[in-house]
Amino acid sequence: MYIKLAWGGEEEQAKERAAGNRNAKNWQDEARKVLERTMEHYWKARIEVPSTTPELPPAGSKDNDDSIASEYDHLRRSRLLPDNQDDGWEAELRRYLKDFAQDVTKDSDIVTWWQDNGHYYPTLCRVALDFLPCQASSVPCERLFSGGGEIATKRRARLGADRFEELQMMKFAWRNNIGDLTAWNSAQVEEVDEMREYEDFLLADEEQCVWDLAEDEISSF
C-alpha cells in the first residue's frame, strides 16, 4: 500500500501510458513480484533443511498413552510446526496481506511487531530478519564498505562471502571493547611531557638553592 501511495500502482501506470510514457511501470506489482520471488527462495531453503523437532511416538503406543500430558505435548508440538506446509508460501503471503494492516500504525515498533508475530509468518519473518537491518541512510553503509576494505585486502582475496560476513560481525561486536592504542599513546606522551616540565622546575629550584647558599656564604664574610 505504501509503494502504491509513494510510487504508484496500476492506475498510475495507466495514466502515464496514456500520457505517452510507454515504459511506465506498475511499481506496486513490481514490488510484489520481488517479494514473491524472495519468499519462494526462502521457502525452498527452509523445507530443504531437515526438521529439528523431536518426533513423538505414534498414537496408540505405550509412551504416548501413559498420560493426558503426553497427548497435549504432541498437540503442542504439532502446532509449533509451520502451518499449511502443503499450501506453500502463497498462503502465508495472502494471510499476511490480509491481516497485517489490522494492528499496525505509523507509531508501531516494527521490530517488536515481528518478535510478537513472527511465528505466524515463519517465511516472511526470516525475510524480515535479513532485510530490516539494512540501513536506510547511506552514511552507515559507506562506513561499512570502508571497514570491509580493511578486511578484504589483496592478501585476503579468497575469504569467501561467509567468512567475510563472520569477520564483519565480529568486528562490529568487539569494536567497543578494543582499546584505542593511538589515544593511549598520546596520553602517555602528554604524561611524559608533564614530567619533563616538573623536572625543569626542579632544576630551577636546585639552581636557586645554589645561588641562595652562595649569597649566604658571601654575606657571612
Number of domains in the chain: 3
89 and 12 part of one domain: yes
40 and 86 part of one domain: yes
The C-alpha cell of 164 is what? 567475510
Tell me whether residue 70 is in a domain: no
* Per-residue pLDDT tens over the stretch 3-59: 888 889 999 999 999 999 989 999 999 999 999 999 999 888 876 654 444 444 454
140 and 217 part of one domain: no
Tell me whether residue 77 is in a domain: no
109 and 216 part of one domain: no
86 and 125 part of one domain: yes
Q: Report the pLDDT value the prediction gives residue 156, as an integer from 0 to 100.
A: 81
150 and 96 part of one domain: no
Q: Using a pLDDT cut of 70, give the percent of the chain over it.
A: 67
- CA-wise closest residue to 153 among 137, 174, 167, 173: 167
6 and 95 part of one domain: yes
Tell me whether residue 73 is in a domain: no
CA distance 168 to 164: 6
Tell me whether residue 64 is in a domain: no
* Per-residue pLDDT tens over the stretch 97-149: 887 656 777 788 888 888 888 888 889 888 988 888 776 767 777 777 788 88
204 and 140 part of one domain: no
The residue with cell 513490481 is 30
Of residues 52 and 79, more confidence is placed in 79
The C-alpha cell of 12 is what? 498510475
203 and 108 part of one domain: no
- CA-wise closest residue to 129 among 145, 113, 108: 113
CA distance 64 to 58: 7
Q: What is the dihedral of CA 100, 2, 127, 99, to 10 degrees?
A: 10
**Mean pLDDT calculated for residue range 167-184:** 76
Which residues constitute the domain of residue 24?
2-49+82-133
95 and 193 part of one domain: no
Angular region, 108: left φ>0, alpha ψ -120 to 50, beta rest: beta
Question: What is the total residue count of the chain?
Answer: 221
119 and 164 part of one domain: no
CA distance 1 to 96: 13
27 and 100 part of one domain: yes
User: Exposure string (b/e) for 106-118, b if CB count within 10 Å is 16 or more?
Assistant: eeeeeeeeeeebe
- Give Cβ neighbours of residue 178 (< 8 Å, ≥ 6 apart): none
* Per-residue pLDDT tens over the stretch 196-210: 566 777 777 778 888
